[in-house]
Structure 1
Amino acid sequence: MYTLLSGLYKYMFRRDEYCILILGLDNAGKTTFLEQTKTRFNRNYKGMSLSKITTTVGLNIGTIDVGKARLMFWDLGGQDELQSLWDKYYAESHGVIYVIDSTDEERLSESKRAFEKVVTSEALEGVPILVLANKQDVETCLSIPDIKTAFSDCINKIGKRDCLTQACSALTGQVCMEVFSYLPELSISVLRKG
């Protein structure tokens, strides 16, 4: 009897799980974005102090529930030597959030090359992408049009997939509210692709 009730409970409250990769160069704000997301969507999550976040070596994992979907975020380290491992996670991915440091103009071309590798991967063909221009709270940051211009030759490589570029400030979380409101749309897009 217990097995029957347990199975019924699991069936009734089951959530489809989808994996969202958070990619970008080191120091772009990926982990800070993940922490803000977990804090925003998980009522009981206290979160770590944003000032104590250091460079990710390996990956960080976070889970949120959006409607009947469970989104599992894999925040992968962005150092050059770790980027070669990104493609090991592509096959299980249903969506990508690519984070750009809007204050680091010197590394913008390096970020573009990494983004190009992501969008040209056959394993990610058709997978929706959300591009976050992070650190928009800094006065000297690049604007969205500046970033789109720098990444303009990547546009035709994006292919037939949902793609959105959004301003973000993971540290303050204020601008992230718009991004947070897009997550349910991303999950719907993920559900369509999955």
Structure 2
Amino acid sequence: MGLIFAKLWSFFCNQEHKVIIVGLDNAGKTTILYQFLMNEVVHTSPTIGSNVEEIVVKNTHFLMWDIGGQESLRSSWNTYYSNTEFIILVVDSTDRERLVISKEELYRMLAHEDLRKAAVLIFANKQDMKDCMSAAEISKYLTLSSIKDHQWHIQSCCALTGEGLCQGLEWMTSRAGLR
């Protein structure tokens, strides 16, 4: 009996969870992906299309799709939505002028049928920069408290140092088993 339980447990623990990493261009999406993967900063250029990597945290497998954020690419984000369990929205905490666009994109995604069960992690990136907005300010501006039909969490971070990224992954890992 124990062997059957162990096999079942390993099957469920090794299940892959699809994650899409989205945000406006230059928010830090690719830098975050490669911090997760290699724990180091990788020189990046604007992503055309997507990058995909598997990240394993405590036996939880996340298949992470980093999707280009340039304006011309955002209309194709929905081609990645099928079977997505987690959305990571990366926000540049210094980019006050385009926060309205991030908000529009977030609510457009949340309204999409394929994402109705997805949990949302918002990374308030670039917290190391002078005059950046705090996670609380970004949360208020994005009216995150009005999101009732999706689990969500906002996390301050710095993609260059990795600060805050583990806490975001821990939040996702704690929800992966509940999905």
- The TM-score by the shorter chain falls in which range? 0.7 to 0.9
> Comparing both structures, which one devotes a greater share of its residues to helix?
1
Aligned to 1:6: none
Q: In structure 2, list runs of 5 or more residues that go unmatched.
A: 1-6
Aligned to 1:166: 155
The Cα offsets for residues 23-71 of structure 1, whole Å up to 9 and x where unpaired, read as: 100100000000101014xxxxxx6x53x21111100111111233211
User: Which structure 2 residues correspond to residues 10-159 of structure 1 after superposition, within 5 A?
Assistant: 15-40=14-39, 50=42, 52-152=43-143, 155-156=145-146, 158-159=147-148
- Name the CA distance, whole Å, in 1 between partners of 2:117 and 2:10: 29
Q: What SS does the corresponding residue of 2:178 show, helix, strand or coil?
A: helix
Q: What SS does the corresponding residue of 2:52 show, helix, strand or coil?
A: strand
> How many residue pairs were aligned?
171
- Of the two, which has the highest radius of gyration? 1
The alpha-carbon deviation at position 13 of structure 1 amounts to 6.6
* 2:175 equivalent to 1:189: yes
Ranges of 4+ aligned residues in structure 1 off by more than 6 Å:
10-13
- Name the CA distance, whole Å, in 2 between partners of 1:93 and 1:102: 25
- Name the CA distance, whole Å, in 1 between partners of 2:89 and 2:135: 14
The answer to whether the 8 A contact 2:83-2:114 is kept is no
Q: In structure 1, list runs of 5 or more residues that go unmatched.
A: 1-9, 41-46
User: CA separation of 1:192/1:139 partners in 2, compared to 1, >3 Å: closer, same or farther?
Assistant: same
The alpha-carbon deviation at position 82 of structure 1 amounts to 0.9
**TM-score, L = length of structure 2:** 0.86
RMSD of the TM alignment (CA)?
2.1
